[in-house]
Structure 1
């Protein structure tokens, strides 16, 4: 298949591009920069110049391909609400040229939208009134219009070499504060997945023609936040402290919501339907052996 990939040079998107190419698919990769274009060309993808603000261009890319994988998202948390609404418009724009064609479209979403007192499963839907729900609302809207679209929910930690997500943020925060912290006992759970395992899930979902409304790229159902914090403490040689919720806000700031996130999640249905089994190393082992503390 010829697959249009947004976020094609990003941490997850670049792994998806390689996975697709390695399995005989061709890739039309979205990029807005010369550097991104060079990276895509170097791995054998076709370069598509544009960005998430140019909806017409995105429609053209989607219309020219057999499938779409949307991993692009603006992770500037100072403009989070705006970014979420932009994602809604991007999804609806690309979906508008796929309606009635049965060409699969996989849209990236997050496990953390679905907090529950049990492991979150693929059939769960977003009920919380939070900005990021715009993504899954947009997918539901285009499905209702005849688009073969599904969501791929990623955990709070998608890890591996080159990670610039939540774990590196916690490492940088610890360096800044001079110690590593968790909230109270730190027994809240973060699901995790290696980026290469996640990439395989995207590829298998496309090959399966997105037969499910939602997939979970979850390699580990829940890693205790305290274990992540302890690993950072050892890796940096900094003291570890348990903070009350009140004092934790001073330490974590805007990241407090994510630091207390507790969202154990299952990928059982995804594994069953796609024959997908996570095979890469887990988060803690990856933190200990990758480049997380080298910078």
Structure 2
């Protein structure tokens, strides 16, 4: 019966991570027991989600805080896969979950999406740090600066967990890569591309030479989009079936990584793809100028983010059975298809 189904609310369904997570929920062995609702802005995509995928859809934005609060209040599980820096939206979701806890007495589950930018420094591509974070090291997680990327939202969620009306889990993916595949992406509902590598690709295509920040020496972890979606599902299953043994709150940070790369390696792979496509005759990346960082990233500060260090190990996810399949070598191999895809997009606009 419908009343026995688990009510799930998901944000970011038309995005890269949210689309991958929703797709996995729809393919879950227990999918028939889920009552999934999503919030999307696009009315046409809403129709496709409802008619083709059987998902309940509310058309709206994350600025409609009353709507967010109401949808969260109706859900036992919330997957927040949208903007990791939207404090008002998270507060609205938490308010809804607080109301649900007060009204029904159940302990709702929040699975929020952050990112390993929270660990990043200001290396500007000039050096590699030796600092490596483990998500099993709670004191290390607590030591992260409150001014770090995404940290204001993460701390707001930690406070809610400590108050006891929600079990909060934060998935912290690193450099997510690969063109996402599957029904939601093929239907044009969800965005098949990530952010970090595509930004480097777009800038490199525009300048017709691979670009990087500084000398590209800084290090980041990487993780395939399919492995990220698998982490969400394992965490969801664990939180539903074995909540007492599933870390939440300060013990609920789950890094997503399966390997590590330098920014130079990514830019060099872009350069090699540009050579193969006849766009340049030199695969060696050149540093972006300050003006280029502003042009391609919107600001110098955000551009320098692509020259930062962010090193971590996904020990907690592996402790609940996560076994990522794809490696840094796979990440580097995924770059040429993305270069081809964005080259075609540019050509289609001409």
Where on the TM-score scale, by shorter chain, does this alignment land: which range? 0.7 to 0.9
Per the alignment, do residues 269 and 164 of structure 1 end up closer, same or farther by CA in structure 2, a change over 3 Å counting?
A: closer
Quick one: which of 129, 149, 156 aligns to 1:138? 156
Quick one: which of 28, 41, 49 aligns to 1:40? 49
| Greater Rg by CA | 2
Q: Work out the number of aligned pairs and report it.
A: 281
Measure how far apart 1:156 and its partner are.
3.3
Counterpart in the other structure of 1:156: 175
The separation in 1 between residues aligned to 2:176 and 2:271, in whole angstroms, is 18
Is 176-185 or 105-114 further displaced after alignment? 176-185
Quick one: which of 12, 15, 24 aligns to 1:19? 24
Q: State whether residues 119 and 311 of structure 2, in contact with CA within 8 Å, keep that contact through their aligned partners in structure 1.
A: no
The separation in 2 between residues aligned to 1:233 and 1:61, in whole angstroms, is 46
Q: State whether residues 17 and 45 of structure 1, in contact with CA within 8 Å, keep that contact through their aligned partners in structure 2.
A: no
Quick one: which of 254, 263, 266 aligns to 1:228? 266
The separation in 1 between residues aligned to 2:230 and 2:285, in whole angstroms, is 37
Per the alignment, do residues 58 and 286 of structure 1 end up closer, same or farther by CA in structure 2, a change over 3 Å counting?
A: same
Measure how far apart 1:164 and its partner are.
4.1
Using the size of structure 2 for normalisation, the TM-score is 0.73
Does residue 212 of structure 2 align to residue 182 of structure 1?
yes
RMSD across aligned positions (CA): 2.3
Counterpart in the other structure of 1:80: none
The separation in 1 between residues aligned to 2:15 and 2:88, in whole angstroms, is 18
Does residue 99 of structure 2 align to residue 97 of structure 1?
yes
Does residue 118 of structure 2 align to residue 113 of structure 1?
yes
- Structure 1, gaps ≥5 residues long: 75-82
Runs of 4+ in 1 over 4 A off after TM superposition: none
Which string of whole-angstrom CA distances, capped at 9 and with x for unpartnered residues, describes residues 2-38 of structure 1? Answer: 3210111211111101101111233212212212213
Does residue 74 of structure 2 align to residue 64 of structure 1?
yes
Using the size of structure 1 for normalisation, the TM-score is 0.86
- Structure 2, gaps ≥5 residues long: 1-5, 121-128, 181-191, 345-350
